Structure 1
Amino acid sequence: MSAFDDRERAFETKFARDQEVQFRITARRNRLLGEWAAERMGLTPEETDAYAKAVVQADFEEAGDEDVIRKLAGDLTAASVEISDAEIRAALNDKAVEARRQFIDSQN
């Protein structure tokens, strides 16, 4: 039974680690996405930093990416930036790849 318990603990540890890694990558992706949107809106460096943090916070509103996409679409439209949901989703995918790459690089 001890071997089974050890194996179960190992799976639980791996699951917890995988969830933490995914959380960090998603938070990094959202920060990069916020910086991308801030650049399109012409924000100052201080405003960019605050906005990127706000985008990270927006992801806690509901599960999935729709809350972040809604925030970006609303803010970009309010700033008179012409952009489609497809462009935002493409940027989200690009920033996800970049965030994963940055995370992997930081582990080496």
Structure 2
Amino acid sequence: MSEFDKRQEGFEKKFALDEEQKFKAEARRNRLLGLWAAEELGITGDAATAYAKEVVAADFEEAGDADVLRKITADFAAKNVAITEQTIRAKMNELLAVAAAEVKAGK
């Protein structure tokens, strides 16, 4: 194996690891976001955990965060929770930083 091949393999492994960590961080962020949204909706206990799982599952509908944002926005509107899309986006960014740190720390 040439030096170039070794270097390419190293980059590919790093890329795969980065993508895996990104996926885990986004899934964790969505779970944390779901728990936050459940609290805002007045959902507690096992129902809050189930709701958080629904939020995680919503992220698999399409690429990006739009599907998660759409679900939470619709759920807030249905329960007359006065939290703006901008606030939800800010919470998503805040929780992504928390989730990424947790994933990086191996939690």
Q: TM-score, normalised by structure 2?
A: 0.93
Higher relative contact order structure (alpha carbons within 8 Å, sequence separation ≥ 6): 2
Query: What is residue 39 of structure 1 aligned with on the other side?
Result: 39
Cα distance in 2, alignment partners of residues 32 and 9 from structure 1: 34
Q: Percent identity?
A: 50
Conserved in 1, the CA contact under 8 Å of 2:33 and 2:91?
A: yes
The structure 1 segments of at least 4 consecutive aligned residues displaced by more than 3 Å after TM superposition are none
Residue of structure 2 in register with 1:10 after alignment: 10
Q: Which amino acid aligns with 1:96?
A: L
Map 1:50-69 onto structure 2 (within 5 A): 50-69=50-69
Q: Using the TM superposition, give the Cα deviation of residue 105 of structure 1 relative to its aligned residue in structure 2, in angstroms.
A: 3.0
Q: TM-score by structure 1 length?
A: 0.92
Unaligned runs of 5+ in 2: none
Alignment of 1:1-108 (within 5 A): 2-106=2-106
Number of matched pairs: 107
RMSD: 1.3
The CA deviation string for residues 44-92 of structure 1, in whole angstroms up to 9 with x for no partner, is 2111111111111111111111111000000111122111111111111
The residue type paired with residue 23 of structure 2 is F
C-alpha displacement of 1:98: 1.3
